[in-house]
Structure 1
Amino acid sequence: MDDQNKNLILATALSFLVILVWFILFPPEEPAQIPQDQMTVGATNGIAPTPPSPVIGATDGAASTAALAKPAADAPRVAVKTPRLSGSISLLGGRIDTLALSDYQETQEPDSPTVNLLAPVGSDRPYYALYGWAPAGDLANDAVPGPQTEWSLAEGKDLTVETPIVLAWDNGNGLVFNRKISIDQNYMFSVTQSVKNNTGAAVRLAPYGIVARHGEPEQTKFFILHEGVVRQSDKELEEISYGDMPDMTFVEREGARAEVAQVETNGWIGFTDKYWMTTLIPAPGQSFTSVAKYVAQADIYQVESRLPVIAVEPGASAQADTMLFAGAKEWEEIRDYENKAGIYRFIDSIDWGWFFFLTKPIFAVLHWLNGLIGNMGWSIIALTLLIKALLFPLAYKSYVSMAKMKELQPQMEKIKEKAGEDRQKLQQEMMALYKKEKVNPASGCLPILLQIPIFFSLYKVIFVTIELRHAPWLGWIRDLSAPDPSSIFNLFGLLPFAVPDLGILQILSLGILPIFLGISMYLQQKLNPAPTDPAQAMIFAWMPWVFMFMLGSFASGLVLYWIANNTITFTQQYLIMRSQGYKPDIIGNIVSGFRKKPKTDSK
């Protein structure tokens, strides 16, 4: 029992630190680079030619915002009005370039502005989507619509859930282009591009979609979170960070570096932030060329979906159907787009991490519980109860084994005295005793080791899912994705002043939840006597308070889970130990911790 107890909480700490160090020193491998000779694109093999970048001239490739016909903000606009989105579409290029998320505010303050997702050229951080046609064969660049084309509004007035709009452009030489844009009740735009050939000869051209960001955006920049390009290319999910984009190996044109993937049947590509995403989605089953690009001269980060070249005979028409997701990464909505719209593995646009086999079901259960309870904090506690119930058979076996180890303690001490300095004899005698009494000394650590990946998975869920953003629990906990806002420095709000930002010393500003965490770990320790070894006793004495400070700056939802887990574990272990005839002397163990020589028996 004594040897077993020495390692219970120590296993938790060491496993926690090992996994943390592993994440830092050994991040996921970068995806394999596509050989350059497999990435060449052109019109001769049916693959779409390179579309012009939003601010790049089609002939010289020189990056300059002066190539814009007029500032996008000054061009005529069509309003976007839905219950969840507000913004506008510029008729210059038909850009979807102003978009705010009506359901989300920047902060929890009553006067906080709504989250702005997209912004036009001329703003501080331009971020927008546009569509067009790239010429192929003998078709001239100015014969097709591009980023600077001035469209006219042919049908509709405002883009709403009930009323789509149609943009039109006639090149004056027999080609008439239309673009129909509709939107659902959430965040999905449907874009149908069509062309009518009224010339006397066949033409060849290719539709494309672009999402562009000017300059590197502000990011969370935390190692467990991916922000940047995310794309699905048939069976492969790929992530490219903003910092890696300038170093991409394939030089597609002067000043532009890219990574290109050929998608046969199912795929999508876009930019993902912590909670928001803008993604180009060709129709399911549609082949296309998926491109992640960085234009160095203009400092533009860009993703493209290039559809194959289409040959349009005289008098004929052709069209291409695509989708654009621009909004919040809500699990339920993204899952519905995957299941109902057939967008392959769209749920993986949420960064589930290495433990995806745990994070996905954990969040699904948490979401279901929240639907029943209506409060994420209580749902986390209910989830903890479910997890502990699933692990209870292992926990029971572990605690029974620990109780038996306690009973064997006198015999183990005799074996130690008899073996003396002979470590091999000591090990042999101990193993013989374990075998005779049918005790497994390692079984006590298994439930704790299983808790480690669950802990990290829940941390990932709380950190990346938007459903936890600004989710309240009770009282002072108004955001379970943020640290406990209370502070010991103002007596948890009793003193009439706010605690200033203390920088690196902020770790000392403990809130109520971290203090309860330390207390719960301390009481769990005191179910058993302190180790007889002074060094181990000191480590155990400090461990709850070290964890209290270390986890104090973590999301309050995670700290709440850990407190609930410790409380349930304490109760389980206490009751099982009592059922095995061992009465834990918690008060005695606490008192012994203040003595020079720790108490060795509490029976």
Structure 2
Amino acid sequence: MQDNNNRNTIIFVIAAVVILIGYQFLVLDPATKKRNAELAQQRAAAASAQANAPKGVAAPGLPGGSAATAVVSRGQAAAASPRAPIATEALAGSVSLRGARIDDLYLKNYRTTVEKTSPPVELLRPEGAQNAYFAEFGWTGSNLPGLPTADTVWQVVEGSTLAPGKPLVLRTSNGQGLTFTRKIEVDDKFMFTVTDTVANTGATSVTLAPYASVQRQGIPNDRRNQIVHEGAIGWLGGELRQVKYAKWLKEGGPTVSSTGGWTGITDKYWLTALIPDQKEAIQGQYRVTKSGSTDIYEANFVGRPHIIPAGKQVVQTTRLFAGAKVVPLLKDYQAKLAVERLDLAVDWGNFWFITRPMFMLLEFFFHLVGNFGIAILLLTVTVKLLFFPLANKSYESLTKMKKVQPQVEALRTKFKDDPAKQQQELMALYQKEKINPLTGCLPMLVQIPVFYGLYKVLTVTIEMRHAPFFGWIQDLSAKDPLSIWNLFGLLPYNPATVPVIGSVLNSDLLHLGPLALLYGLTMFLSTAMNPPQPDPVQQKIFQFMPLMFMFIMAPFAVGLLIYWSWSNILTILQQYVIMRRFKVDNPIDQIIAKLTGKPKEVG
């Protein structure tokens, strides 16, 4: 029975490793090369277009949006329209007076990299630039000439710079009795409030429906996450709507009737979401259209038609969230604005019942100690304490199995020609010593959901982005920046810059940093404390597993390596105490004896 369990475990481990390695070389590496090639082509096309482009930006109207005829620099695209600045503690940018769009936005408190001189993260960019990304608002109606379009230049009637407590009021007219006034407000975080008023000074009533749209023209090539949702997102019709970019392009997106809710486009850490009046009946739509070679991704909604009698006016309020997906902030907006499930903009995954509580616990520890790395260590201890009784029983079983290993080997030798009798005698021995061979795998099974949960949390929550630990670790969500191939920075060269060799050494499977080595060492010690396998081949495979998993785990987020290495250390300590209590030989005592030259003492 034990042999079958060991054999199945080996088969499972080998199959998992083969799949991971195959996925790396057959899927991820080719996909990365393809993305890099596409990026190079786009840059070349953009440079060519910029060199031949006129100073202005032509933007003919398209249904639900528009696309520039030429790609120009971001600065040229912004300069093509008169603008009103945006200045808050969290945001910098401007509102385009042409189209009255929110299309120029930087997140001041988030940088592109961990370098102090790194520029702030760009969220929105004007139309005409490569990968334009913006939000627009307006009215639609039948047989009504002169409605504001993307080319309409609005006049500023109040305010000059959009800031908290300092709204910007814009106005335009269709020249036939309709006056459009747009009041744009912003708080000290990431929420804009757009209040549109239509006054009918004509002789007859008109019917207009409000709309709002978030539009992204092409996808930046750094969208490469495998486990994090990026693309269309929203809570419409009482359901979470998610469509990844590839599926969105291939199949389009749904059209959903909803009362309230929200809709938009999400990246790994950033969100641009439209929030209508939560009592308003809307029609939400996700669609992709073509403009030349550019795929235009759009999330929009259209509100119910409003009849505006002569001499009357109608007011429509829409909010725009444009910023970082900070969980407490999303929850705060969700509560204050009564917006349903806004915090689901963070991709908690199918195992949300693990990832969300784990994040809350990490947040608690972080606010307690002020360091997410230490918070991960405290989380690991908490998990160990939570499952201590189960794990302790399992390690006791493993220790007892190691203690009776000489008797097991004797039985295997004695009954090597009679497998049935051998198995019978082994079971009798285990029963006599009160050993359950199946309990030995429980600690690993217990850690699998925790491993996944922490991996997901480290990947999706912006709180982990650029979160430092100590020393060289400045981003717990990224892989270890140091590498063994230049002695962790002691040698004056970057392995990635060495021709041919650099591309090999810099690949994920060969990225070995200090924490990956620590993980491999701790896994080796933990594995060595388990009973040896009966078959010599199996013994070699299990001895090789720590090395194999060290390479597999090396490119993972450094926070995950901290968790796993610290978990291994706690496991080793727990196993060591149990083995000393049962007076069983263990590798730590062997290492101490070799280093000190003193004989081993057990018990």
Same-fold call, TM > 0.5? yes
Closer/same/farther in 2, CA of residues 62 and 242 from structure 1, 3 Å limit: closer
Point out where structure 2 has 5 or more consecutive residues left out of the alignment: 27-57, 71-75, 595-601
- Partners of 2:544 and 2:339 in 1: how far apart? 51
Per the TM alignment, residue 3 of structure 1 is displaced from its structure 2 partner at its CA by: 6.7
SS at match of 1:230: strand
Cα displacement (A) at 1:561: 0.9
Alignment correspondent of 1:236? 239
Q: What is the 5 A alignment of 1:341-490?
A: 341-406=337-402, 409=405, 412=408, 416=412, 420=416, 423=419, 426-427=422-423, 430-431=426-427, 434=430, 438-490=434-486
Contact 2:68–2:128 under 8 Å retained in 1: no
Q: Which residue of 2 aligns with 1:48?
A: none
Conservation of the 8 A alpha-carbon contact between 1:175 and 1:198 = yes
Counterparts of 1:383 and 1:15 in 2: how far apart (Å)? 31
SS at match of 2:444: helix
Cα offsets for 1:532-560 (capped at 9, x unmatched): 31111111221111111221122111111
Partners of 2:19 and 2:387 lie apart in 1 by 21
Deviation at 1:332, TM superposition (A): 1.9
Counterpart in the other structure of 1:261? 256
C-alpha separation in 1, matches of 2:232 and 2:147: 28
Where does residue 103 of structure 2 map in the other structure? 97
Contact 1:370 / 1:379 at 8 angstroms: preserved in 2?
Answer: yes
Return 94-103 or 452-461, whichever deviates more. Answer: 452-461
1:274 is aligned, of 268, 272, 282, to 268
Percent identity for Structure 1 against Structure 2: 42
Q: Aligned partners of 2:397, 2:221: CA distance in 1, in Å?
A: 52
Alpha-carbon separation, structure 2, partners of 1:109 and 1:378: 22
Contact 1:468–1:481, Cα closer than 8 Å, also in 2: yes
Q: CA deviation at 1:352?
A: 1.6
Name whichever of 347-356 and 182-191 sits farther off: 347-356
Distance 1:155 1:476 in 2: 50
CA contact (8 A) 2:280 2:304 kept: no
The CA deviation string for residues 477-504 of structure 1, in whole angstroms up to 9 with x for no partner, is 1121222122222222223333334223
**Residue 539 and residue 388 in structure 1: after superposition, are their counterparts in 2 closer, same or farther (change >3 A)?**
same
**In the alignment, which residue of structure 1 is the partner of 2:151?**
148
Find out whether 1:221 has 2:224 as its counterpart: yes
Please give the alpha-carbon distance, in whole angstroms, between the structure 1 residues aligned to 2:79 and 2:393: 68
Asked if 1 retains the 8 angstrom alpha-carbon contact of 2:512 and 2:554, the reply is yes
- Aligned position for 1:504: 504
> Aligned-pair distance for 1:241?
1.9
Structure 1, residues 394-436: CA drift from partner, whole Å, max 9, x if none? Answer: 1012122223434555665566567655555555565566556
Deviations 1:70-104 (A, max 9, x none): 97632221111100100100111101011011111
1:75 to 70, 81, 85: 81
> Quick one: structure 1 residues 589 and 491, their matched pair in 2 at CA, closer, same or farther if it must change by over 3 Å?
closer
1:337 aligns with 2:340: no
Residues 450 and 23 (structure 1 numbering): CA distance in 2 closer, same or farther, change over 3 Å?
farther
What CA deviation, in whole Å up to 9, does each residue of 1:512-571 have, x standing for no partner? 111111111111122245323111111122111111122112211111111101001111
Secondary structure of the corresponding residue to residue 240 of structure 2: strand
SS at match of 2:561: helix
Distance (Å, rounded) in 1 between the aligned partners of 2:125 and 2:18? 43
C-alpha distance in structure 2 between counterparts of 1:21 and 1:499, whole Å = 22
Do the aligned partners of 1:166 and 1:179 also contact (CA within 8 Å) in 2? yes
Which position in structure 2 is the counterpart of 1:582?
584
**Letter of the 1:73 counterpart:** A
Does residue 542 in structure 1 map to residue 551 in structure 2?
no
| Larger RCO (CA within 8 A; separation ≥ 6) | 1
Which residue pairs with 2:94 in the alignment? 88
Range with greater deviation from structure 2 (193-202 or 153-162): 193-202
Deviation at 1:201, TM superposition (A): 2.2
Match of 2:304 among 308, 316, 319: 308
Structure-2 residue corresponding to 1:253: none
**Aligned twin of 1:251:** none
Alpha-carbon distance between aligned partners in 2 of 1:22 and 1:164, rounded to the nearest angstrom = 55
Superposition CA RMSD, Å: 3.4
Aligned AA (1:524): S
Of stretches 13-22 and 533-542 in structure 1, the one that deviates more from structure 2 is 13-22
Provide the secondary structure at the position in 1 that maps to 2:440: coil
What corresponds to 2:119 in structure 1?
A: 113
From the superposition, tell whether residues 336 and 351 of structure 1 become closer, same or farther in structure 2 (CA, over 3 Å).
same
CA drift of 1:331 comes to 1.7
Q: Secondary structure of the equivalent of 1:558? A: helix
Provide the residue aligned with 1:598 in structure 2: none
The one-letter code of the counterpart of 1:534 is: P
Pick from 149, 161, 175 the counterpart of residue 164 of structure 2: 161
- Matched residue SS, 1:320: strand
How many residues are paired up? Answer: 552
Q: State the alpha-carbon separation in 1 of the partners of residues 65 and 229 from structure 2.
A: 31
* Structure 1 position 288 matched with structure 2 position 274: no
Tell whether the 8 Å contact from 2:135 to 2:212 is kept in structure 1 after alignment: yes
- What does the per-residue CA deviation read over 1:139-176, in whole Å, with 9 as the maximum and x for residues that have no partner? 42x34223222211122221101111221122222212
Which stretch has the larger CA shift, 161-170 or 507-516?
A: 507-516
CA contact (8 A) 1:527 1:589 kept: no
Q: Secondary structure at the match of 2:291?
A: coil
- Give 1:42-61 correspondences, 5 Å limit: 57=61
Distance 2:357 2:15 in 1: 23
Change (3 A) 1:155 1:18: farther
Matches within 5 A, 1:522-537: 522-537=524-539
Q: CA deviation at 1:378?
A: 1.3
| Secondary structure, aligned partner of 1:209 | strand
Q: What SS does the corresponding residue of 2:496 show, helix, strand or coil?
A: coil
TM-score by length of 2: 0.83
SS in structure 1 at match of 2:385: helix
Deviations along 1:16-62, whole A, 9 cap, x unmatched? Answer: 6599699999xxxxxxxxxxxxxxxxxxxxxxxxxxxx956479x99
What is the identity, as a one-letter code, of the residue corresponding to 2:551? F
Distance in 1 separating the partners of 2:189 and 2:14: 45
Q: Compared with structure 1, are the counterparts of its residues 347 and 20 closer, same or farther at alpha carbon in structure 2 (3 Å cutoff)?
A: farther
Q: Are 2:138 and 1:132 equivalent residues in the alignment? A: yes
Quote the residue 1:514 is aligned against: 516
Structure 2 Cα separation of the partners of residues 287 and 425 of structure 1:
75
Aligned partner of 1:555 in structure 2 is 557
- Residue type matched to 2:446 in 1? L
AA of the residue aligned to 2:382: L
Whether the 8 Å CA contact 1:7–1:445 is kept in 2: the answer is no
Aligned residue number for residue 32 of structure 1: none
Deviation of 1:451 after TM superposition, in Å, equals 0.9
Pairwise CA distance, 1:584:
2.5
Instruction: Decide which of 201, 209, 214 is 1:198's aligned counterpart.
Output: 201
Compare 275-284 and 234-243 and name the one that shifted more. Answer: 234-243
Other-structure match for 2:38:
none
Q: What SS does the corresponding residue of 2:559 show, helix, strand or coil?
A: helix
Could you tell me which runs of 5 or more consecutive residues in structure 1 were left unpaired when the two chains were aligned.
26-53, 249-256, 593-601
Equivalent position of 1:44 in the other structure: none
Q: TM-score, normalised by structure 1?
A: 0.83
